[in-house]
Amino acid sequence: MERTLAILKPDCVRQNLAGKVIDKILAGGFRIVALKMVKLTTDTAGAFYAVHKERPFFNDLVKFMSSGTCIPLVLEKQNAVTAFRELIGATDPAQAVAGTIRREFASSKQENIVHGSDSPENANLEISFFFSNKELVENN
């Protein structure tokens, strides 16, 4: 079984879409291993997205991710990283496939509702950024 990190971003929480997005995640066959609500500071958002530090969108991303409450989740499923990225769709909701989370709920490429890990290695790093091992529920 593989794990991935999802983050319901501030736009998702602000628009009260968290329940609908979680419903789609569960309908997609994922098991929630951990979930919490957090308010990222610019420092913590910057540390999480440090891999993008040299990209032109970095400052806007950090500002956006620290603009409100986020909900990080650890999800489990066979091929969780790939399956979740398929479920959420392309970064730009206009290019996302019909039925994906971003196509249904996102308003723009920047405010795109949800983050998903891009590899199993990054998933492990990202999970440990938000959750300790004792917070991961092994069996529900």
Every domain of the chain and the residues it spans: 2-39+69-135
Q: How far is CA 110 from CA 13, 26, 64, 87, 99, in A?
A: 15, 25, 8, 18, 19
pLDDT tens, per residue, the chain with 140 residues: 999 999 999 999 999 999 999 999 999 999 999 999 999 999 999 999 988 899 888 999 999 999 999 999 999 999 999 999 999 999 999 999 999 999 999 988 888 999 999 999 999 999 999 999 999 987 65
Which CATH number is 2-39+69-135 given? 3.30.70.141
Give dist(CA 1, CA 30) in Å, integer.
Answer: 11
pTM score, whole prediction: 0.92
What's the pLDDT at 22? Answer: 97
Give the pLDDT confidence score for residue 110 in this predicted structure. Answer: 86
Q: What is the pLDDT of residue 138?
A: 78
Say which DSSP state 97 is in: P
Please, where are the H alpha helices in the chain? 10-14, 18-27, 42-48, 58-65, 80-88, 101-105, 120-130
- Name the CA dihedral angle for 22, 98, 104, 53, rounded to a multiple of 10 degrees: 80
Out of 87, 101, 115, 131, pick the active-site residue: 115
Six token digits for residue 87: 């479920």
Q: Let me know if 115 is a catalytic residue.
A: yes
pLDDT at site 140:
57
| Amino acid, single-letter form, for residue 83 | A
